[in-house]
Homo-oligomer: A and B are copies of this chain.
Amino acid sequence: MKICTEQVTFELPLALESGVTLPSFELMIETYGELNSLKDNAVLVCHAFSGDHHAAGTKDEGGKAGWWDQMIGDGKTIDTSKYFVVSINNLGGCHGSSGPTSLNPETNLPFGSAFPEVSVQDWVNAQRNLLDHFGISCWEMVAGGSLGGMQALQWAITYPDKIKKAAIIAASSKISSQNIALNEVAREMIRKDENFCDGDYLAQGSKPKQGLKAARMLGHITYLSEANMSKRFGRKLQNPETKMDAAVSYEVENYLQYKGEQFAETFDANSYILMTKAMDSFDPAKNFNQDLVQCFKHIQAKLLIASFSSDWLFPKEYGKDIQMSAIKAGIRSSYIELEGDYGHDSFLFRSDEYAASLQNFLEGRDECS
């Protein structure tokens, strides 16, 4: 599988939903496989909340496999011997695309709190430029899980003639009050870290690692199912010799401590805030008087909507809502409820049923009319 990583600079203004216009912007991208001569084999994959452009393969010896490596590759579900897969780091992220860690040309310091709010719509508008960059007229598929699935849905709504298929996995057409509340607790932890410095920590040479760690610990609980945690950890006590913190008693506490620490080393706190705010505000029906059916009327793409029964963060009802609106709007769509052992995170892990659903959809072998 051919893997290319590139930071693409777009020297054109991007008007954001917030009212702010970026005079230019950069997107970090990674591609897998090759674009064919007809340029009709391109698939865009959109990352979830804390993901990045590294979706597949292993870049360096001993390096980390991409977040969707189980699904993307030669002979895999999204077969890179056939498809040209484009993966991006979204605007506001912290892995090479324009975001709060980028240098603000006005101050020559990292943007920090000065980086504007971004939305799912903004991300899709930014990604739109990738079509011209590659000379592609239409994506064969846009796919993603969670916040990535929201982008796939927004693509189908905003650019009906630029996308043939949208795979909307473990996603929602708008999140619940409870989801917003959980995101707000995470933001509160970050903002109140003594090293947050109102968001300008990088300029001041510090990082709010404790807040970011605690936010991630909470996130982890919501990504996994209760059943999965019970199976993996139960009420097992932690071996005292491998405790991350003296106050830890149970294995599950130690696991969260470890995962949280790891994350806080590599992620940016402002990006965390921006990404959760984008998730909170996603609500494509807002421009259609809260009528999702009207919002879907002009969609031309076929939709695959997949939910996981063990997902309690974005439960299957969210997927069913999207499907019911698609049916009422008279557009082509197919809904599948998958088992999944990993709660919300199930979208990251291959199962035969999951892989077959997505592959049949991509290959046009599904029954979706």
Contacts and interface: CB of A to CB of B under 8 A. Distances in A.
A217 B312 CA distance: 19
Contact of A176 (B187, B210, B230): B230
A188 B174 contact: no
A192 B214 contact: yes
Nearest to A195: B194
16 contacts: A174-B235, A178-B226, A178-B229, A178-B230, A180-B250, A181-B229, A181-B252, A182-B218, A182-B221, A184-B252, A184-B257, A185-B218, A188-B213, A189-B214, A192-B214, A249-B281
Nearest to A250: B180
A128 interface: no
Contacts of A210: 192
Main secondary structure of the interface of A (DSSP, over half): helix
Contacts of A177: 226, 229-230, 232-235, 250, 252
Contacts of A174: 235
Contacts of A298: none
Interface in A228-242: 229-230, 232-235
A75 to B, nearest CB: 37
Contacts of A224: 178
A72 B234 CA distance: 37
Interface residues of A, number: 46
Contacts of A234: 177
A140 interface: no
A253 interface: yes
A38 interface: no
A69 interface: no
B253 A181 contact: yes
A228 to B, nearest CB: 9
Contacts of A187: 247
A277 interface: yes
Contacts of A176: 226, 229-230
Contacts of A193: 192
Given A178-B224, A185-B221, A189-B214, 20 more contacts: A174-B235, A176-B226, A177-B233, A178-B229, A180-B235, A180-B253, A181-B229, A181-B252, A181-B256, A182-B218, A184-B250, A184-B252, A184-B257, A188-B217, A188-B257, A189-B189, A192-B213, A194-B194, A214-B214, A249-B281
A52 interface: no
Give 9 closest A-B pairs by Cβ, nearest first: A177-B229, A184-B253, A192-B210, A178-B226, A194-B194, A177-B233, A177-B252, A185-B217, A185-B218
A191 to B, nearest CB: 7
B214 A247 contact: no
Contacts of A252: 177, 180-181, 184
A151 to B, nearest CB: 19
